[in-house]
């Protein structure tokens, strides 16, 4: 059943390969500078490497938008996005797989009664505007700079042709790596929370985490899509919007690759923080939008945009608007059928309760509202129901409501030293592992309880304040906590009596 559920993610990966991944070499193939077979082989290899090595950053942000916590739910969400992308691809449109999966996840959020992380959604949606604009600017600057250089450096036309072909392949490989790192979140991000795979050691040489195994499968699916059905979209991008020369194609691929890399690189984000600069959000962005922006940038640089085919551009833009809407609607109704017709569990309810521990925490931070006494004996089966009660029935203000919801989320955890021994001591650190082992068999009903307890036991589990380096440290520590929450989580029913005594 695990492999059956993953089929929709594999289908989505194939769809991404036919559409988004094709854009890395689309302009090169359309200008006949690189053979399709060569582009497909190089693109496949590097998209897999990028997905496995650097796919975690963008996947994390997508997970915040909606933590799909049941395999059948992940299957349905990925299937809704894949159907949308496949339909758009059939029409020859370079549709955004990012928009398709975001729309499908929002559909799941509505169906499951989960709160939509507005910060994560704002970050992702903002890139739908920024992505083509930034790529167009890069493309414009790179084109002008290249033309200036060629005027002052004498290169024979045959040599220029050879250099262009080589650079198209090299930059295409970099673009495929960046695409795998950025867009694997679209393919397998919805399966991360419900990931069925364990860590894997290949011949005691290569260690892959459970998430990396998942990303490897997604990368292989993308590669299959590149080989089987990507040529049609390459022609749309490379020829229909604006007729590109081989050198222009090179610049478009470079601009697109740089933008994809910028929004996927955790190393770049760490560097910017260390330089006291704001980091770019690590979010999955659309390679289709990037390449369209790059082509527009070239069109403007060459002739002020007069030769750009606006009718094709309008058709593409229309596809970008309808993609998330269509995907969201399909996802919502597909989830309904999966749950009510096929009797599949498409989400695990996330419960909320004002436990005694939660009450004490709210009082300690001066957040307690006497009206909460009226719901102390209640357990809410969704964030939406709980938020509705706090805002509309108890008339508690929005800011306080958000804090209450955060502290009231019931996320059962139990420290088990057998599980702790399986954690990567090199990544967590010896001090953190030893602190964890001191809590053997301890049960926590809320995530913040474990954080507070560990921070008291060991300084290595405490968040820091102050400098930009502290922000970098805190980001890494937060990832360790999130990994810990996944590993130590236990079923709600297994500690029902503990929960009952706390309410």
Q: How many residues does the chain have?
A: 503
Query: CA separation (Å) from 501 to 92, 168, 439?
Result: 59, 65, 20
Query: Cα(258)–Cα(253) distance, rounded to whole angstroms?
Result: 9
Asked whether residue 171 falls in the same domain as residue 304, the answer is: yes
**Domain check: are 201 and 216 in the same one?**
yes
With beta carbons less than 8 A apart as the criterion, state whether 73 and 112 touch.
yes
The answer to whether 211 touches 56, Cβ cutoff 8 Å, is yes
pLDDT in tens, 407-466: 999 999 999 999 999 888 888 999 999 999 999 999 999 999 999 999 999 999 999 987
484 and 393 within one domain: no
- Give the mean model confidence (pLDDT) for residues 456-479: 87
Domain count, the chain: 3
Q: Is 331's pLDDT higher than 90?
A: yes
160, part of any domain: yes
- Same domain assignment for residues 241 and 298: yes
Tell me what the mean pLDDT of segment 331-349 comes to. Answer: 94
Domain end, chosen from 363, 380, 408, is at: 408
User: Would residue 464 count as lying in a domain?
Assistant: yes
433 falls within a domain: yes
**191 in any annotated domain:** yes
Same domain? For 366 and 271 the reply is: no
Specify if 347 maps to a domain.
no
Distance CA 383, CA 55 (A): 29
Is residue 418 located within the same domain as residue 385? no
Domain carrying residue 106: 2-340
Based on the fold, state whether residues 434 and 403 are members of the same structural domain: no
| Sequence-distant (≥ 6) Cβ neighbours of residue 376 within 8 angstroms | 354, 359, 503
- Burial label for 277, CB within 10 Å (0-12, 13-18, 19+), is exposed
Residue 345 lies in a domain: no
**Is 431 a domain residue?**
yes
Predicted pLDDT of residue 142: 95
Query: What predicted TM-score, i.e. pTM, was given to this entire model?
Result: 0.82
Whether residue 153 is found in the same domain as residue 292: yes
pLDDT digits (tens, 9 = 90+) for 48-75: 999 998 887 666 677 778 778 888 999 9
Look at residue 276 in the predicted model and tell me its pLDDT: 73
Do residues 229 and 115 share a domain? yes
Task: Please indicate, yes or no, if residue 346 is contained in any of the structural domains.
Answer: no
């Amino acid at each position: 059943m695990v492999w059956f559920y993953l089929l929709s993610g594999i289908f989505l990966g194939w769809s991404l390969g036919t559409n988004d991944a094709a854009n890395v070499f689309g302009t090169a193939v359309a200008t006949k500078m690189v053979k399709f077979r060569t582009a497909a082989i190089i693109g496949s290899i590097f998209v897999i490497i990028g997905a496995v090595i650097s796919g975690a950053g963008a996947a994390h942000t997508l997970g915040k938008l909606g933590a799909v916590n049941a395999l059948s739910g992940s299957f349905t969400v990925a299937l809704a996005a894949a159907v949308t992308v496949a339909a758009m691809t059939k029409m020859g449109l370079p549709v955004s797989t990012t928009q398709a999966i975001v729309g499908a996840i929002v559909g799941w959020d509505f169906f499951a009664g989960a709160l939509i992380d507005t910060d994560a959604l704002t970050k992702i949606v903002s890139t739908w505007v920024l992505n083509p604009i930034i790529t167009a600017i890069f493309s414009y600057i790179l084109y002008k700079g290249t033309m200036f250089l060629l005027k002052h450096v004498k290169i024979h036309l045959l040599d220029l042709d050879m250099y262009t072909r080589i650079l198209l392949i090299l930059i295409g490989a970099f673009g495929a790596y960046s695409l795998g790192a950025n867009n694997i979140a679209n393919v397998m991000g919805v399966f991360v929370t419900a990931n069925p795979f364990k860590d894997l050691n290949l011949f005691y040489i290569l260690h892959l985490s459970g998430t990396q195994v998942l990303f490897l499968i997604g990368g292989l699916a993308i590669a299959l899509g590149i080989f089987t059905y990507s040529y049609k979209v390459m022609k749309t991008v490379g020829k229909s919007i604006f007729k590109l020369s081989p050198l222009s194609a090179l610049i478009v691929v470079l601009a697109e690759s740089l933008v994809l890399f910028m929004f996927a690189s955790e190393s770049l984000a760490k560097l910017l923080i260390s330089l006291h600069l704001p980091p770019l959000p690590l979010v999955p962005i659309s390679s289709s939008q990037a390449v369209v922006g790059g082509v527009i940038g070239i069109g403007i640089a060459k002739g002020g945009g007069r030769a750009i085919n606006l009718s094709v551009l309008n058709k593409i833009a229309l596809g970008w608007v309808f993609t998330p809407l269509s995907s969201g609607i399909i996802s919502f109704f597909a989830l309904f059928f999966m749950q009510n017709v096929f009797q599949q569990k498409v989400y695990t309810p996330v419960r909320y309760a004002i436990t005694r521990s939660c009450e004490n925490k709210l009082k300690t931070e001066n957040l307690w509202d006497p009206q909460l006494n009226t719901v102390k004996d209640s357990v809410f089966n969704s964030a939406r129901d709980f938020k509705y009660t706090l805002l509309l029935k108890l008339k508690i203000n929005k800011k306080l409501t958000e804090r209450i919801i955060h502290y009231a989320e019931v996320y059962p955890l139990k420290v088990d030293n057998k599980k702790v021994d399986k954690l990567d001591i090199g990544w967590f650190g010896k001090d953190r592992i030893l602190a964890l082992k001191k809590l053997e068999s301890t049960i926590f009903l809320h995530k913040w309880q474990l954080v507070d307890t560990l921070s008291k036991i060991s300084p290595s589990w405490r968040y820091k304040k102050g400098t930009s380096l502290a922000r970098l440290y805190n980001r890494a520590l937060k990832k360790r906590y999130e990994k810990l929450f996944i590993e130590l989580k236990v079923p709600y029913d297994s500690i029902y009596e503990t929960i009952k005594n706390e309410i």
